[in-house]
Amino acid sequence: MTWQQKIDDALTARRRADAWRQRYAVTQGAGRWLQADGRQYLNFSSNDYLGLSHHPQIVCAWQQGAERFGVGSGGSGHVSGYSVAHQALEEELAQWLGYSRALLFISGFAANQAVIAALMGKEDRIVADRLSHASLLEAASLSPAVLRRFTHNDSQHLERLLTAPCPGQQLVVTEGVFSMDGDSAPLADIHAVAEQQGAWLLVDDAHGIGVCGEEGRGSCSRQQVKPELLVVTFGKGFGVSGAAILCSDNVADYLLQFARHLIYSTSMPPAQAQALRAALAVIRSREGDERREKLTMLIRRFRAGMNTPDLTLAHSDSAIQPLIVGDNHKALQLAQALRQQGCWVTAIRPPTVPTGTARLRITLTQAHEAQDIDSLLEVLHGTGQ
């Protein structure tokens, strides 16, 4: 087989399975509206849950940060790229979430890769929820550690897997709010089981942080659980991008020595760290509460409107409201029909989700108004879904 054939075969298989992935160059993609092809659509596919991507104070903090620090950090944090802005953000995050330390990463994907690569050796075992995000499962399968998956949100299955003998250390991995399903992990049960077996718990709260819990502290705070490792990302509720790992002093010291994504990669621009500090201040404030309350109201309105015999929504009280369709082709057609009627929704297909569970991943944001939800409901009911 030639290179050409290898590539062509893979592309053909993707197309045949209706699994072809495509990007659209949008003029604007976060917030209430999505603008593309000279048209404006109601945006039900961004992760900007709190509508912070266009918040004036946060935009201004980034601009002022760029004037003060320049647009780039100048290097890895281990060389010259760790600024007072990064330091202040790390301290604020640690204090907010009740950890000794926070370490910043360029993205959630990098944070997950880094922590699993740095901590897990071949004697060790990772026990992950089956539906964990690709960044976690990929890191786990690239790692020399043994990977076992437990049935989604099933702490009894987790316990059975953990009790099998393991020569090294065990790490339990799950998400706070699941990215493609919108449901929450039973973190208290999972942590108790892990603790009993001497395993550590890593919770990736990409979709909970900022959006739920007191002062937006996320899923763990809401369920009163403190995992040994907490990954938070800033591309969703924070409306920016980047990530942090919250941990103890000695784990932070260890990651600074051994996490290659920190050592061999340029740190985030200090101006971005300043924008994140401004986003954190909004999230913790009264305004943050109001934004969360409005989002909750919109979620309730949507679910109430979907509550008809012909429409079944997955169980989710988060901003992620998947409508499981099953078949890839049908999911694509439905997304297309919605788009024609002014609602931008993404069809999510395998391998992002299990085979036979293609879905419309509808996401709501605080930037929506009640009438936007009603428009979406009307369009959905009109399609016979």
233 is in an annotated binding site: yes
Is the Cα dihedral 287, 66, 261, 255 positive or negative?
negative
CA atoms within 13 A on the CB side of 222: 18
Active-site residue (options: 236, 261, 294, 368): 236
Among 204, 223, 268, 358, interactor with ligand PLP by CB under 6 A: 204
Give the Cα separation of 92 and 80 in Å (integer).
21
* Site size with ligand PLP, rule: CB under 6 A: 15
Sheet arrangement for strand 243-247: 101-105, 243-247, 229-233, 200-204, 170-175, 125-129, 146-150
Active-site residue (options: 90, 129, 181, 204): 204
Give the Cα separation of 233 and 340 in Å (integer).
32
Among 34, 202, 206, 295, interactor with ligand PLP by CB under 6 A: 206
Q: Which is nearer to ligand PLP, 158 or 177 (CB)?
A: 177
Residue in the block written with tokens 């979620």? 299
The tokens describing 145, both together, are: 């550690």
Active-site residue (options: 124, 159, 175, 181): 175
Say how many Å lie between the first and final Cα of the chain, rounded.
Answer: 44
Taking the complex as a whole, the smallest distance from the CB of residue 117 to ligand PLP amounts, in Å, to 15
133 given a catalytic annotation: yes
**H/E segment holding residue 220:** helix 219-222
175 given a catalytic annotation: yes
**H/E segment holding residue 361:** strand 358-363
Binding-site string for ligand PLP from residue 148 to residue 187, where x marks contact by CB under 6 A and - marks none? ---------------------------x---x--------
Taking the complex as a whole, the smallest distance from the CB of residue 350 to ligand PLP amounts, in Å, to 17
Is the Cα dihedral 327, 311, 318, 60 positive or negative?
positive
Taking the complex as a whole, the smallest distance from the CB of residue 316 to ligand PLP amounts, in Å, to 14
226 given a catalytic annotation: no
Contact positions with ligand PLP (CB under 6 A) in 78-137:
107-109, 112, 133, 135
Taking the complex as a whole, the smallest distance from the CB of residue 166 to ligand PLP amounts, in Å, to 25
210 contacts ligand PLP (rule: CB under 6 A): no
181 given a catalytic annotation: no
207 is in an annotated binding site: yes
236 given a catalytic annotation: yes
Report the C-alpha dihedral over residues 23, 298, 319, 322, rounded to 10 degrees. Answer: -70
Q: Which is nearer to ligand PLP, 32 or 133 (CB)?
A: 133
Collapse the DSSP code of 102 into the 3-class scheme (helix H, G, I; strand E, B; otherwise coil) and give the result: strand
Residue nearest to ligand PLP (CB): 108
183 given a catalytic annotation: no
CB 74 within 8 A of CB 298: no
Taking the complex as a whole, the smallest distance from the CB of residue 39 to ligand PLP amounts, in Å, to 26
Q: Which is nearer to ligand PLP, 183 or 204 (CB)?
A: 204
The tokens describing 285, both together, are: 């404030």
CB 246 within 8 A of CB 205: no
Taking the complex as a whole, the smallest distance from the CB of residue 229 to ligand PLP amounts, in Å, to 13
CB 230 within 8 A of CB 112: no
Contact residues for ligand PLP (CB under 6 A)?
107-109, 112, 133, 135, 175, 179, 204, 206-207, 233, 235, 241, 243
Q: Residues with catalytic annotation?
A: 47, 133, 175, 179, 204, 207, 236
